[in-house]
Amino acid sequence: MSAIKLIVGLGNPGASYQATRHNVGERWVRELAQRFAIPLASETKFKGDIGRGDILGHDVRLLVPTTYMNLSGDSVGAVQRFFKIPPQSILVVYDEMAFVPGVVRLKQGGGDNGHNGIKSVRSGLGNNPDFMRLRIGVGHPGSPSKVTSYLTQQAMPVDERIEVERCTTLDDGLLDNILQGNWQQAMNVLHATGES
């Protein structure tokens, strides 16, 4: 497996989206940047906030696209091409309605499962689906007609946010395995725990 060189957090730009379920990926990457003191700066040519730093001895770039979710690939593709990062060395963090809050899963490649951000990232990488994913459960509203409002217009309830933060605060050992590309070990640990 390839070591991770770029971690991307998906979300929508603007204050009105910050606390929504659709922005859990963005929040996760911004918190990671804070945890390891990696400043994120706005870069117009990359259509995003980007930074580079040391995470547990690994040289990693962090990216939060400042495009809307369905155009995330414009940002990810620009960074990937400029720094010549193989798709297999990119980890994309995003919300997953198939899982309840408190469930987090790693995945290598695959389809977009109807997620517009992932669809756009795949397109931005030349239709290459082989990037890695960290999927954060946000639950489902029960009806397809309620999905847009559920994801983008409602602030995530406090109890759900606490649950998501609890299960996405990865310890150093697990994070190190992910960054090294020790995917199977990381999946075994993350997927075996009771909360994920």
What domains does the chain contain, in order, with CATH numbers?
A: 6-192 (3.40.50.1470)
pLDDT score at 190: 85
pTM of the model: 0.95
- Residue 24, C-beta contacts closer than 8 angstroms, at least 6 positions apart: 11, 93, 94, 95, 136, 138, 156, 164, 168
The active-site residue, picked from 22, 58, 140, 191, is 22
115 an active-site residue?
no
Phi, psi angle pair for 46, to nearest 5°:
-105, 0
pLDDT band (50, 70, 90) for residue 193: low
Q: Which residue has the tokens 């606490």?
A: 162
pLDDT digits (tens, 9 = 90+) for 80-121: 999 999 999 999 999 999 999 989 999 999 988 889 999 999
